[in-house]
Amino acid sequence: MDRTATDLEIANLTKRYGDTVAVDSISHRFAAGSYVCLLGPSGCGKSSTLRMIAGHETVSDGDIVLDGQMIAQVPAAKRKTSMMFQNYALFPHLTVLQNVGFSLKMRGEASAARDAAAREMLDLVDMRDFAARFPSMLSGGQEQRVALARALITKPSVLLLDEPLSALDPFLRDRMRAELRRFQRELGITFIHVTHSQTEAMALADEVIVMNAGTIQQAGPPREVYAKPKTAFVAQFLGGHNVVKLADGLISLRRDKVQLTTGTDAKVEAAVTGIEFQGAFVSLSARGMGDQDFHALLPEEAFFASPVSLGQTIGLTWAPEASHRLTQ
Ligand code: ADP
Ligand code: MG
């Protein structure tokens, strides 16, 4: 098979914990130098997948191929992967510089060489001035940068990040999100970032992999997955869609493409059950076509030009390209 140097591939990768199948024979090829988000609800197997790639969890079945080599049985420290943990896991009794240089110490590198390498990494994340501090003297965002520097010091080809932004407050989270993307571009290595937030995945990823119950539901560029979710699960989990049961199957329908109509082009007659002002949009809920819930995201000005009220029967319509068939 033709592979560039740092392509990563998983094949029929499986993780069982006793009777629980946490990861159920998933296969995927990660393009070298891409930002990939593993997205799915809690318990769907994201962390188990990441830990198997990192070598922190044994593989029950299947293969991991990096750089043309099968690495499923290779110890974590000998892989070209590195992991940044959810809670950063910095050593409280070591300084920032010592934390960052820790892996090199384990590899037996002399202190002058590892301090120099650690300073270089601290430069990269703009933390050189904090080298002598202890982790307890850092803010959340600073801790995260130190954890990133520590994970990068071994010069991995693949950086694995497990919910790296979840410990931060919303303001800092948005800032660090942009920084992660910038670091990935500068380094040119593959980032695999686990998250349960669809906005985070869509904002960051070149490719998003949506998981559910240990399986990959769909993978692709975020815009493509958002425009054409394959399954009801993907449409519902990404948000922004209606999932509608028709007589001959299921469709997904973008909420921002549903329009109100008083004309004969109405596809559904529905009773308004909710109206929420959201700033640029008004989110309207209505029940029709049996007992199905429809949601429309209407531009604020258009809604208030001819508002409707709770309980009112309205007509809903959409262009044919706003909807498409779901496979399950
Ligand atoms: P996620 O990261 O998507 O939340 P995990 O990979 O952590 O999912 O977990 C997937 C499933 O495996 C869950 O049902 C979880 O309870 C189970 N699991 C995870 N780790 C262990 C473990 N060490 N022992 C037993 N079951 C586990
Ligand atoms: Mg997890």
Is residue 20 in contact with ligand 1, taking CB distance under 6 Å?
Answer: yes
Quick: pLDDT tens for 46-98. Answer: 999 999 999 999 999 999 999 889 999 999 989 999 998 766 789 999 999 99
Is residue 45 in contact with ligand 1, taking CB distance under 6 Å?
Answer: yes
Handedness of CA 40, 257, 270, 280 (dihedral sign): positive
- What type of residue sits at position 135? P
Task: Give the rounded percent of residues in the chain with a pLDDT score beyond 70.
Answer: 98
pLDDT at 323 over 50: yes
- Section 212-239 average pLDDT: 96
- What Rg do the C-alpha atoms of the chain give, in angstroms? 24
Residue 51: nearest ligand to its CA?
1
DSSP per residue, 155-177: --SEEEEESTTTTS-HHHHHHHH
Q: Give the span between the Cα atoms of 155 and 159, in whole angstroms.
A: 9
Average pLDDT, whole number, for the chain? Answer: 94
Which residues, 6+ apart, have CB-to-CB distance to 173 below 8 Å? 165
pLDDT number for residue 140: 85
pLDDT number for residue 170: 87
Residue nearest to ligand 1 atom 22, measured at CA? 17
pLDDT class of 270 with cuts at 50, 70, 90? very high
CB contact at 8 A, 99 and 135: yes
- DSSP E strand stretches across the chain: 8-17, 20-30, 35-39, 61-66, 69-70, 81-84, 158-162, 190-195, 207-212, 215-220, 241-246, 249-254, 259-261, 268-277, 281-288, 292-299, 313-317, 323-325
pLDDT at 253 over 70: yes
Of 17, 24, 60, best ligand 1 pocket probe by most atoms within 8 Å of the beta carbon: 17
pLDDT number for residue 86: 65
pLDDT class of 4 with cuts at 50, 70, 90? very low
Is residue 160 in contact with ligand 1, taking CB distance under 6 Å?
Answer: no
- What type of residue sits at position 300? E
d(CA 44, ligand 2 centre) in Å: 8
pLDDT class of 322 with cuts at 50, 70, 90? very high
d(CA 43, ligand 1 centre) in Å: 6
pLDDT class of 5 with cuts at 50, 70, 90? low
pLDDT number for residue 107: 87
pLDDT class of 166 with cuts at 50, 70, 90? confident
pTM of the model: 0.92
Quick: pLDDT tens for 94-137. Answer: 999 999 999 999 889 999 999 999 999 999 999 999 999 999 99
Closest ligand 1 atom to residue 51 Cα is 6
Question: 3-class DSSP state for residue 191?
Answer: strand
Is residue 44 in contact with ligand 1, taking CB distance under 6 Å?
Answer: yes
pLDDT at 328 over 50: yes
pLDDT number for residue 89: 81
pLDDT number for residue 2: 43
| Angle separating helix axes 170-187 and 140-152, nearest 10 degrees | 20
Which residues, 6+ apart, have CB-to-CB distance to 159 below 8 Å? 81, 82, 83, 84, 151, 152, 184, 187, 189, 190, 191, 192
Quick: pLDDT tens for 132-163. Answer: 999 999 988 899 899 999 999 999 999 999 99
pLDDT number for residue 85: 76
